[in-house]
Chains A and B, each alone.
Chain A
């Protein structure tokens, strides 16, 4: 069987009436993809910095370092960047959970699952924005 030899077959077996309706899934996947970069690169970096490097060593020095870091978080470009990392990571996480649920047998609820999953990501992002606003 040659993979490239179907030219004469006239491309018949198109499903869904051949309508040009691209799925909204592209949008959720784009958020998932961007969130994947955040979750893989930036979140571990934050964990290392805030969890290990900031509190390391002498307590007084560590406290000063933590205070300086907290002050930086009050600066609005940092807030925007943090919100971006948090929001995209949340959408990444909830998209993965939605597809996991589909894989374990809830495929027929693919549409209905969008509300709790992406709604949840949106709500948590809103909460993160509110907390950041208050710093």
Chain B
């Protein structure tokens, strides 16, 4: 490979205040096999075109900010190596299924509303003050939800899910997995509150178990598995309420 090897990046560009429609812009970027797509976009922004707008922060797969479509697949750009695409060009789009705010930046508002709707925090009937110590948990109780707590809210699963694309009421993989994570937490007492939201018509049942959420998840959360488990809980709850219409508490 020559010292001056380059790779072409085609970036989705859209500035709503000046552009009537989106376009692609190509950039030649020095090729380095240690570089990831995010390095290349940062290089463009620093050396060629400061108007390119994108989100990023940690560069190490922890913050969940740099999710974009890389050659049509939802990826963390900090974990997508140029060497896996070279010498072909790399096309970078904003995450699909989200409204575009500017260039590679999407609006997260709808996603945040859905996250909030599943009440992703521990709910208690009683609140002990700290003098009584912490709510203790065994390793087995931790293991029941730990995998589902690894989500970094990168939204790749929303870009991968076909149901998110055409069913607005569907809460989506990350939010449902997170709701399920708290339902499985031995310290939590909020399952019935969450199920009110999750069991309403298409919120969870819209999932047709395509499973792409789990395929693209960079943290191996397995949202598809979480949703199937949550559906089983939901079905039990449905029959419980059918048998005991009034007293269906927790």
User: Which residues does A use to contact B, with CB under 8 Å?
Assistant: 1, 3-7, 9, 11-16, 18-23, 25-27, 29-30, 33, 99-100, 102-103, 105, 107
Contact = CB atoms under 8 A, between A and B. Distances in A.
A105 B166 CA distance: 9
**Taking each of A9, A12, A23, A103, which has the highest tally of chain B beta carbons within 10 Å of its own beta carbon?**
A23
B120 A6 contact: yes
Contacts of B120: 3-4, 6
Contacts, number: 93
Nearest to B110: A13
B235 A26 contact: yes
Interface in B148-186: 149, 151-153, 162-163, 166-167, 169, 178
Contacts of B169: 15-16
A6 B116 CA distance: 7
Contacts of B201: 16, 23, 25
B116 A22 contact: no
Interface string B105-147: 0000000011111011110000000000000000000000000
Q: Tell me the interface secondary structure of chain A in the complex.
A: helix
Given A23-B201, A26-B234, 12 more contacts: A7-B122, A11-B116, A11-B193, A19-B200, A25-B201, A26-B231, A26-B238, A30-B239, A33-B235, A103-B162, A103-B163, A107-B167
B241 interface: yes
Nearest to A9: B116
A6 B234 contact: no
A73 B164 CA distance: 46
A100 to B, nearest CB: 8
B173 to A, nearest CB: 13
Nearest to B63: A1
Interface size class of B (residues with CB under 8 A): 35 or more
**Taking each of B162, B205, B234, B237, which has the highest tally of chain A beta carbons within 10 Å of its own beta carbon?**
B205
Contact of A30 (B117, B167, B197, B238): B238
The 6 closest A-B pairs by CB, nearest first: A26-B238, A25-B205, A13-B113, A7-B121, A30-B235, A22-B199
B200 A3 contact: no
B151 A3 contact: yes
B153 A107 contact: no
A23 B239 contact: no
Given A1-B153, A3-B151, A102-B208, A23 B200 contact: yes
B117 A107 contact: no
A34 B58 CA distance: 45
A102 B162 CA distance: 11
A22 B234 CA distance: 9
Contact of B235 (A1, A7, A11, A29): A29
Nearest to B201: A23
Contacts of A25: 201-202, 205
Contact of A3 (B117, B119, B178, B239): B178
B120 to A, nearest CB: 6
A5 B54 CA distance: 25
B33 interface: no
A33 B169 CA distance: 23
B235 A107 contact: no
